[in-house]
Amino acid sequence: MHLKAGCYNINSLTENGGGTLYIDSGPVVVNIAGTGQSTPFDLTGGGMINTVTPKFDPMSFQILYAGTGTIKLKSGASAVGLMYAPNASYSLGGGADWYGALIGATLTDMGGAAIHYDRKLQKEDYIPGSWMLDSFTWKKD
């Protein structure tokens, strides 16, 4: 499946059996609701999320999830992106690779998984939607 730049609202994402989700242009922002799902994000069995242009740019694919379900990345699966799921638990293992950054409540390492943090994320980010003033200070001269 191919996605172009935009915001997508879905309930859950499961990709396994060697399936691939291509990010043709970014940023792609996916909001996951997770209603009635104990595992709202499941990437296993060689599934892959790949940013096509530019390659391996984690800012091109962002996942937002506010629930408490489990995020799975196992069995040779790999993904490039940012996942912000501060209340979720992560279960990683079996040769899985995540390129970018993960934010969550807990992480269980089942062995053989790796998170490859992209240091470029320290200096750059995307803001979905219009820019808004986020801080202000009075300076007395």
pLDDT higher for 16 or 55?
Answer: 16
Report the predicted TM-score, pTM, of the whole model to 2 decimal places. 0.80
Token readout for 31 is 């909001």
Average pLDDT on 17-25 reads 84
How much is the average pLDDT of 12-34?
88
Q: Which is more confidently placed, 54 or 43?
A: 43
Average pLDDT over residues 120-128: 66
Computed over every residue of the chain, the mean pLDDT equals 84
Q: Is the pLDDT of residue 94 over 60?
A: yes
User: Is it the case that residue 128 has pLDDT exceeding 70?
Assistant: no
84 vs 7, 64, 100, 141, CA distance in Å?
15, 5, 11, 40
CA trace torsion 70, 92, 29, 18 (10° rounding): -110
pLDDT beyond 90 at 112:
no
Q: Rounded mean pLDDT of 21-35?
A: 89
Query: Does position 132 have pLDDT exceeding 60, yes or no?
Result: no
Give the side-chain half-sphere CA count within 13 A for 43.
23
